[in-house]
Amino acid sequence: MKAMILAAGMGTRLRPLTDEKPKALVPVVGKPAILWNIEYLKRYGVTNIILNAHHHYEQILEFFDKNSALGVEIRVRVEPEILGTGGGIKNTEDFWDDESFIVLNGDILTNIPLDQAYAHHVDSGAPATMILHDHPPFNKIRIDSRGPVKDIPRTYGTSGLAFTGIHILRPGLLNHLPGEVFSDIIDCYRGLIQAGETIQSFVARDHYWYDIGTPDDYLRANRDLSGKSIHTGPRAQVHPTARLEGWAVIGADCFIEEHATVRRSILWDGARVRKGEVISDTVLTPLRAVKLKTASQGV
């Protein structure tokens, strides 16, 4: 089985963190987001993965040069000019065979059962299946009682369902996407629905799902996936007089000096907390500290 991870975005909502790294390499509980997604896809039998890259693409190429033994074949398709979700998928047309394939947004983390969704898609015969869930305030997609998508409004509302960022496509759908230009796959779906084609849905329930697209959502994902406890990466040094309060994710090679305090925060690899410093509700990188509001509000 094959899959694509969409990883070319500029990560504008996650700035200033994405000024340093592409969103695919932002660490979540000490592990780059892209590895969470690769491991997720592997669990459901995916053996070949392609991902697109644009923003800080050199870092992504370097990452896979250094991490080649992942148990799946990985290809990176660099986009000199960003192509969007539709254009990015169209640009990988030569990668697919005659089987349906999975497309996954690179900024989500989830345990949605892909085997069930894939079987549902195959049985439906539809050119594409969108995996949806009930997730206010992002609900807007309307489906009928049999499952096909009826409408994809352009604004969020109080009804409908939310798109999880995961869909399953038959290769023939790529014939509806223009080549070598920017396009949006959701606009393609809207056009097909208006033309009377069926875009199927699979409604996921009883799962976790995190969008790490904003700093506060990124902090929430780290908090929950760390088990709201202390996670310490390899070679991190914490002085005996330092205090770790609540939960914290401390990356590899971090150094927390004497009488410092870290609470409800994420320290990227190589970050340093100086003597007596208090780091609270913050993402601390070797270059900057990004103060967040989520944790301090008790979320």
pLDDT of residue 299: 42
Instruction: Give the residue-averaged pLDDT of 30-55.
Output: 95
**With contact defined as beta carbons under 8 Å apart, do 96 and 171 qualify?**
yes
pLDDT at 178 over 80: yes
Q: Which one has a higher pLDDT value, 293 or 58?
A: 58
Q: What is the pTM of this model?
A: 0.91
Q: How many CA atoms lie within 13 A of 293 on its CB side?
A: 1
**With contact defined as beta carbons under 8 Å apart, do 262 and 273 qualify?**
yes
Nearest-10 crossing angle of helices 33-43, 114-124? 60
Instruction: Give the residue-averaged pLDDT of 27-37.
Output: 94
Instruction: Give the residue-averaged pLDDT of 134-150.
Output: 92
pLDDT of residue 214: 87
Q: In which band, very low, low, confident or very high, does the pLDDT at 162 lie, cut at 50, 70 and 90?
A: very high
Distance separating alpha carbons of residues 270 and 27, to the nearest angstrom: 12
Share of the chain above pLDDT 70, in %: 98
pLDDT of residue 294: 57
Average pLDDT of the residues of the chain? 92
How confident is the model over 241-293, as pLDDT tens digits?
999 999 999 999 999 999 999 999 999 999 999 999 999 999 999 988 888 77
**With contact defined as beta carbons under 8 Å apart, do 220 and 213 qualify?**
no
Instruction: Give the residue-averaged pLDDT of 166-187.
Output: 95
pLDDT of residue 193: 95
User: 43, 26, 16, 30: which is closest to 225 by C-alpha?
Assistant: 30
Sorted by sequence, the CB contacts under 8 Å of residue 190 that are 6+ apart come out as 152
pLDDT at 13 over 90: no
pLDDT at 296 over 50: no
pLDDT at 211 over 70: yes
pLDDT at 59 over 50: yes
Terminal alpha carbon distance of the chain:
38
Pairing of strands 31-32, 282-284: unpaired
**With contact defined as beta carbons under 8 Å apart, do 1 and 114 qualify?**
no
pLDDT at 170 over 70: yes
pLDDT of residue 298: 44
Instruction: Give the residue-averaged pLDDT of 193-209.
Output: 95
User: 80, 124, 127, 123: which is closest to 103 by C-alpha?
Assistant: 127
Distance separating alpha carbons of residues 224 and 226, to the nearest angstrom: 5
Tokens representing 201? 């849905």
How confident is the model over 100-117, as pLDDT tens digits?
999 999 999 999 999 999
How confident is the model over 63-86, as pLDDT tens digits?
999 888 788 999 999 999 999 999
